[in-house]
Amino acid sequence: MKTVKLNNGIEMPILGYGVYQVTPEECERCVLDAISVGYRLIDTAQAYDNEEGVGNAISKCGVPREELFIVTKVWISNGGYEKAKASIEESLRKLQTDYIDLLLIHQPFNDYYGTYRAMEEAYKVGKVRAIGVSNFYPDRLIDIAEFTEIKPMVNQVETHVFNQQVEAKRIMDKYGTQVMSWGPFAEGRNDFFDNATLQTIGKQYGKTVAQVALRFLIQRGIVVIPKSNKKERMLENFKVFDFALSAQDMEEIAKLDKEESLFFSHSDPKMVEFLIGLGK
């Protein structure tokens, strides 16, 4: 498995399995399937309500814990030093592990500075191997990077062929923050799976639209965490290291960038109110 090196020297797989919207009932089975396929990075979150399923899979999979890379995120409702500190302990319990490989702030709301202090503390005592943020736009990333002791090692943001985060990545690179994509398939929006450019390029290599899209992000050095409940799709998404897109292919896909979210904007007050409401 290809890896990226975080700014503290930790090696992180560039391809992982995400469990967003995987039900608690199915999560254990899905994660066991993903690990059997070869995935070693598993991405979950407190808000997904399936950390326990991930933990059960970790304990049953037979793969040594040190070979796995487990990611979870502190939710808005656990914002602030004391609540975040307690929630980290709860995540460790649910995940049935002594440490979390990467811990992120899920959204830039509530007292996320207090949350980050709790994360820095957990990092220093070895309960967390790396810390970072999620859904932090460039302005918020710059702010937290400039006023914390440990710069975010990762920023997980919406990244796919229609929202390529070119400028945001430039700023993350400046601060040594690794880009991690959520929604690498844009959740099928904008006719993703029928996109003519991706289909044409895929035919050259005998690859699917999904595989081309993942390969595009991987060649840009972006960590991807595609999700599927079906083992055959997990296998398909995993087979992206046996071909490489040409410079021309990369240029053609770059033209698909609309430079805007297909999901939500933190600049929209109504969306901010909605997200904060979820955290209460």
**Cα 265 from chain centroid (whole Å):** 18
pLDDT given at position 279: 76
Residue 106 assigned ligand-binding role: yes
Catalytic residue among 39, 48, 116, 123: 48
Render pLDDT for 172-220 as a digit per residue (tens, 0 to 9). Answer: 999 999 999 999 999 999 999 999 999 999 999 999 999 999 999 999 9
Residue 62, Cβ density class (10 Å: 0-12 exposed, 13-18 middle, ≥19 buried): exposed
DSSP 247-274: HHHHHHHHTT---S-SS--TT-HHHHHH
**Catalytic residue at 99?**
no
- Domain residue spans of the chain: 3-278
Stated as kind and residue range, the H or E segment containing 156 is strand 154-158
Angle of helix 51-60 relative to helix 24-37, nearest 10 degrees, comes to 40
Average pLDDT over residues 165-178: 97
**pTM value?**
0.96
Distance CA(160)–CA(85), nearest Å, equals: 33
Please state, as a whole number, how many other Cβ atoms lie within 10 Å of the Cβ of residue 220: 17
Whether the per-residue pLDDT at 155 is higher than 90: the answer is yes
Tell me the CATH number for domain 3-278: 3.20.20.100
